[in-house]
Amino acid sequence: MAQIPLIDYDFDREYYGAVQVGEPPQTFKIDFDTGSSKFILSSKACKDCSGSTRFDPAASHTFRLNNEYENELGNKNSSSTFTSDPNTWHITYGDMSHAEGILGRDHVTIANLTVRHQQIALILSESANFDDVVDGIMGLSFGTLSSPSSHPQTLFENMMDQGLVKHGVFSFYLGKNYPNGTSDPIDSGSDYTGGGEVIFGGVDTSRVREGFEIVYTPVTKPKYWQINIENIFVAGQRKQSNIVGIMDTGTTLMIVPERLAFAVHQLIPGAVQISGQSWTIPCDLTSTTRIELEIEGHRFAIPFSDLVREAVRLDGQMASGIDKGNGPNFMIIGDLFIKNNYVVFDQANQRVGIAPLKFPSLTKHSSSSKNSSYSA
C-alpha cells in the first residue's frame, strides 16, 4: 500500500503529489487524474512545456522507447496493435488543451512502491492552455480508454498485475482551502487547511464522517469511472433524475446538464451568466443550502458556499463552480464534489465507493499509516 500526500494548489484548482520516474529516479509534480488513462510527462526535448521539471530519458538507464521494449519482450506481433507509429501519441482533453509526443517505458516509484516498465507518454509539444502547474498527469481511469497501444494499462492496473498491492482499490481525500489560505468565509468554526491524500491499495475509513459508511455503486462503462446518479436535489427540491456521471479527480468543477445549471443559479441571488456555459456568483453564499447527488438511495452533498471560486472582473462577483455541459443527461463529477465526499475507486470489482467526508472542523485527523485500512 502506498500513501501519497497531495498539495492543494490555487484555491482547490488542482491537487498534485510527488512521483519518481527512471533509474536513478527523477522527481516530478503529478496530477492524479481519474478522468484519463495515459501517464503524461513533460520531457527535456520539449522547449515550451509547462511545469518546473522535465524528464530526461537519456539520464535513466531503464528507459526504453515503446517499440524497443516490445522487441526486448520478443513480441513480434506488437506492431499489429497500432494504427500508426508505435512510438507516437496525441491527446485532447475536454477543455480542448492538447499535447503530443513519444511513448516510452520506465520504472515509476510512488511512495514505497515501484512499478516496472510503465508506459509513459512524453510530451514533445503542447497547446498554450495545457496544464501550467504540474510536470505530468497520471491517468487512473481504465486502460481500455487508451487506444491504440500494445499494453494500454494504467499505472494502477500494472501495480495490481505486478502484485504490489494486496487490494485492487485506490482512494482519494481532497482537502479544502480558500483564497490566501483562509478558512471557510461562511463557517468561522471550520479549520480547512487544504492538502489531500491518495492511497493506492487501501481505504482510510477514518476519513469517513461518524455515523456513515461507504456506499458502493457499479461502474456502468469500464473505460471511465462512470456511474448512475438517480436524482439530483437543489435546496431540497428534485431537479433532475437518471443522469450518467464520470467521477473525475482531474476536473476542478462540476460540469452538468444545461437544465440543472440553470436550476442551481436561479436559486442564487445575483448570479450572472457571463458566457454560453459559465456564471459568476456573489462571494457570500450560505453553506446551509446544498446540492445533493442521490446514489444507491443515499444523498451526498455539496454546500453552496463551495460553489464560490476565484474572483472575476465583475465587481463583487466570483466564478461559479458549476458549468453547463453539452449533454442533457451527462455530468462530470469533479473536485467540487470529491472535496466533500471520500471516494474509493475499486478497480478489482469495477465499482465506486462514496461516503460523506469527515472535515477537520469536526475532528483533527492524523495522517499516520495506522489509520489506513481496507474496507470492502
Residues annotated as catalytic are 33, 248
Read off the C-alpha cell for 316.
Answer: 463583487
- Nearest Cα neighbor of 39 from 94, 96, 107, 129 is 107
Residue 81: strand, helix, or coil:
helix
Residue type, 109: T
- C-alpha radius of gyration, the chain, whole number: 21
Which sign, positive or negative, has the C-alpha torsion 33, 35, 36, 37? positive
Would you say 81 and 149 are in contact if contact means Cβ atoms under 8 Å apart?
yes
For the beta sheet containing 272-273, the strands, ordered from the edge strand earlier in sequence to the opposite edge, are 272-273, 279-282, 317-320, 308-311
- Determine how many CB atoms are found less than 10 A away from the CB of residue 19: 23
Query: CA 143 to CA 152: how far, in whole Å?
Result: 5
Write down the H helix ranges in 162-225: none
Strands 351-356 and 290-295: unpaired
Tell me which long-range contacts 84-87 makes (C-beta under 8 A, separation of at least 24).
84/148, 86/150
The backbone region for 313, taken as left when phi is positive above 0, alpha when psi lies in -120 to 50, beta otherwise, is: alpha
Q: Which residues contact 72 (CB under 8 A, 6 or more apart)?
A: 64
- Nearest Cα neighbor of 41 from 155, 176, 207, 211 is 155
The backbone region for 11, taken as left when phi is positive above 0, alpha when psi lies in -120 to 50, beta otherwise, is: left
Would you say 45 and 126 are in contact if contact means Cβ atoms under 8 Å apart?
no
Residue type, 93: Y
